[in-house]
Amino acid sequence: MASSSPPTTKRMEEMAEKITNPDVDFAQWYLDVIREAELADSAPVRGCMIIRPYGYSLWEAMKEALDQRFKATGHSNAYFPLFIPESFISKESEHVEGFAPELAVVTHGGGKKLEEPLVVRPTSETIINHMFSKWISSYRDLPMLLNQWANVVRWELRPRPFLRTTEFLWQEGHTAHATEEEAREEAMRMLRVYEDFAVNEAAIPVVTGRKTESEKFAGAVESFSIEAMMGNGWALQSGTSHYLGTNFARAFETTYLDETNTQRYVHQTSWGVSTRLVGAVVMAHGDRQGLRLPPRIAPVQVVVVPIFRSDDQRAKILEESARIVSVLDDAGIRAQLDDRDTVSPGFKFNYWEVRGVPLRIELGPRDLKQDSVTICPRNVPGKEGKSTRPLEGLVEQVPQLLDSIQEQMLQDALRRREEMTYDVQTLGELEERLPESPGFYRAWWDGDGEDERRLKEATKATIRCILLDRPEGSGKCFVTGRESSQRVIVARAY
């Protein structure tokens, strides 16, 4: 019985059947992991998905970490209606142009045809501005700092679970300020909140930058994003923050009286992250065996697997295993006992590996005799990561072990990103290198929308963002050849 040893050849083969090798077909590997880890399932409505309990608990953990940060920066949660009068969407001209093709429209309600069709919100700038214009009248009402956790709908023709779905869950922050300066500070503050969350909770290093004109949010003056590198070198836009200027304020007459009694438009921001973050965690950390979850956001941080052959051993080992879980639980660690009788320890190892649980503790007869346990961190699979630890003092060590796994996962992701980030001088060079070496390409940039189209046609890559954190200096734009101080990241993206 191979229960306490590393994966057997048989188990490896079984896994290989279920989860495609990511080096061979990364897209299929992604779908396989989502299915095998039971994160999501496809819905009977095209483009929609069901978020299964394990996937949802991962989202809940991320949501909580984000919500704390929003409240700590002075924001309150509120809830605005799902339905928006169609006429609202048209009030801001760029906004309607951007969203019209993606709308779901309710034409009938309560058995009757509606006088005005209702749009299922694709985002809530319009309805929120309608309310802001009612609530805001004086500089004393500002800043107004709101956030909403909600579902939104954008019709999706090429859905991928978590990355692009017709309905998705997200949060959308909406704020109104007296001055441009304050609103710009807010947009930047929330971008940095997203960066902090990505790095310190999800262990995903991100690049922060400004979007180009052609990639910015429909209705924004400027958009900013965090961009993460996935396992295949592609980029995933993982959060955005927008300075909206007075665009929506003008469309909805959202004004206030300043201290000198002058009527002024408010300056606004909006910012959001979505269930797409679940996809980011899968693709930034997953490996051949499945998910790997950073301890801070893992729904289950530690799983304890008892191993026994005889009934005689069974009682003692189960009892001791349950005790460990209970003590960990009391210490605030999300621990679970896998005491299933119907499956083998080998099956359990695989089961929890696929689900990415950061730390497995095995307790077998030899362990019990030696008053020790076997520790298997998910981020270093197989014999290499395994070690034996005395039972005494174990619970005190677990938080440190989890912290160390968290830090290692961030460092691993950072190292991979650095290894897959390149400097590039010309479009020709990019065309040549990108197919062989996917990754982030740093370049000087001074192009326009037309140049971006050329770039995409030639390489399928896009300008992910214009870097905020960059060294001084300038160089020749990799497309136009003009001197520029703008440094960008170019990559294939989801």
Q: Which one-letter DSSP state was computed for residue 214?
A: G
- Identify which of 468, 447, 462, 465 has the alpha carbon closest to the alpha carbon of residue 494: 462
Question: Considering the complex, what minimum distance in angstroms separates the CB of residue 167 from its own copies?
Answer: 5
Which residues make beta-bridge pairs with 442? 423, 489
Q: Which residue number, 169 or 380, has a Cβ lying nearer to its own copies?
A: 169
Instruction: Check residue 109 for interaction with its own copies (CB under 8 A).
Output: yes
For residue 211, give the DSSP letter: P
Question: Considering the complex, what minimum distance in angstroms separates the CB of residue 82 from its own copies?
Answer: 5
Residue choice 9, 24, 44, 310 for contact with its own copies (CB under 8 A) = 44
- Binding its own copies by CB under 8 A: which of 19, 34, 61, 131? 131
94 binds its own copies (CB under 8 A): no
C-alpha distance from residue 237 to each of 86, 215, 298, 318, 441 (Å): 28, 11, 22, 45, 15
Interacting residues of 121 by C-beta distance below 8 A, sequence separation 6+:
80, 81, 82, 83, 84, 127, 150, 152, 153
Residues 397-456 that bind its own copies (CB under 8 A): none
Contact segment (CB under 8 A) with its own copies among 14-22, 36-44, 367-375, 444-452 equals 36-44
User: Residues near 137 by Cβ (< 8 Å), separated by ≥ 6?
Assistant: 256, 257
DSSP H helical ranges for 276-354: 276-285, 311-330, 345-354
- Are 369 and 305 a contacting pair, CB within 8 Å? no
> Cβ of 196: how many Cβ atoms within 10 Å?
14
357 binds its own copies (CB under 8 A): no
Q: How far is the CB of 106 from its own copies (least distance, A)?
A: 5
- Considering the complex, state which of residue 249 and residue 300 has its C-beta at the smaller distance from its own copies: 300
Show contacts with its own copies in window 161-180 (CB under 8 A).
166-167, 169
- Judging by DSSP bridges, how do beta strands 144-153 and 267-274 pair with one another? unpaired
- 315 binds its own copies per the rule CB under 8 A: no
Among 3, 65, 73, 85, binds its own copies (CB under 8 A): 85
136 binds its own copies (CB under 8 A): no
Residue 140 within binding range of its own copies, rule CB under 8 A? yes
Q: Which is nearer to its own copies, 104 or 380 (CB)?
A: 104
- Establish if 108 lies at the interface with its own copies (CB under 8 A): yes
Candidates 1-9, 56-64, 288-296, 455-463 — which segment interacts with its own copies by CB under 8 A? 56-64
218 makes contact with its own copies (CB under 8 A): no
253 touches its own copies by CB under 8 A: no
309, two tokens: 């052959």
Q: Among 2, 6, 12, 57, which residue interacts with its own copies (rule: CB under 8 A)?
A: 57
Torsion over CA: 482, 486, 491, 494 (sign): negative
Assign 149 to helix, strand or coil: strand
Phi first, then psi: what are they for 75, rounded to 5°? -95, 150
Q: Which residue ranges make up the site for its own copies (CB under 8 A)?
A: 41, 43-45, 48-53, 56-57, 59-60, 76-85, 88, 100-111, 117-118, 120, 127, 130-131, 134-135, 140, 146, 150-151, 153, 155-157, 166-167, 169, 342
